[in-house]
Amino acid sequence: MRLPNLTRPTLSARSLRWAFHTYWRFSRGLTMGVRGVVLDEQNRVFLIRHTYVPGWHLPGGGVETGETTEEALRRELLEEACIRLDGEPLTHGVFYNRGASKRDHVVVYVVRAFTVTCRKAPDQEIAEADFFPLDALPEATTQATRRRLAEILEGQVRTATW
């Protein structure tokens, strides 16, 4: 009588493991975004207003497959703000963004070394973009943006959520 090889999974065991892995990956997929707190020499912050969502936000966006968060920040700042990083950004924190999904997180960077390559013109995604004094933020600046600024510039306790 031949005994089964218990060290090698059977085809059905491998298939089951693959099915569970696939289910887990797609049902529990993590999404990651980045935002940049871009501060100029006058301590003004760069904000954007999208065409598709209300309020003024920190520039940023999603991290693409195969991209680091810093690469995503560099790409998003060029696309949304015409801002080129000239140095290493400082990581402020990672925040859970339950408003976007149950699995979304946002990495926030502080950017002080940069060059504005040109003035950002309105396009299909960005309605307006500009630097604002911290004591004169647009009224529609989002609460998440205001919290990040207070944490970074006023020393308020950092929260875990966006």
Q: What is the pLDDT of residues 132-142, one digit of tens each?
A: 999 999 999 99
pLDDT recorded at residue 19: 61
Q: The domain that contains 36 carries what CATH number?
A: 3.90.79.10
What's the rounded Cα separation, in Å, for the pair 82 and 159? 29
Out of 5-9, 57-61, 138-142, least confident range? 5-9
- Residue 13, pLDDT above cutoff 80: no
Does some domain include residue 2?
Answer: no
Q: Name the more confident of 42 and 29.
A: 42
Does some domain include residue 73?
Answer: yes
Does some domain include residue 118?
Answer: yes
What's the rounded Cα separation, in Å, for the pair 137 and 143? 12
Does some domain include residue 160?
Answer: no
Q: How many domains does the chain have?
A: 1
Does some domain include residue 12?
Answer: no
Closest CA to 97 of 161, 28, 154: 161
pLDDT recorded at residue 16: 57
pLDDT recorded at residue 29: 73
What's the rounded Cα separation, in Å, for the pair 17 and 150? 47
pLDDT recorded at residue 104: 87
Confidence category of residue 24, pLDDT binned at 50, 70, 90: very low
Does some domain include residue 134?
Answer: yes
Q: What is the mean pLDDT of residues 133-153?
A: 97
What residue numbers bound the domain in which 60 lies? 31-154
Does some domain include residue 129?
Answer: yes
Q: What is the pLDDT of residues 89-133, one digit of tens each?
A: 999 999 998 877 788 899 999 999 999 999 999 999 999 999 999
- Residue 2, pLDDT above cutoff 80: no
Sequential DSSP letters for the chain: -PPP-TTS--HHHHHHHHHHHHHHHHHS--EEEEEEEEB-TT-EEEEEEESSS-SEE-SEEEPPTT--HHHHHHHHHHHHH-EEE-SPPEEEEEEE-TTT-TTEEEEEEEE-SEEE-SPPPP-SSEEEEEEEEGGG--TTB-HHHHHHHHHHHH-PPPPSB-
Does some domain include residue 26?
Answer: no
* Residue type (1 letter), 100: A
Averaged pLDDT of the chain = 88
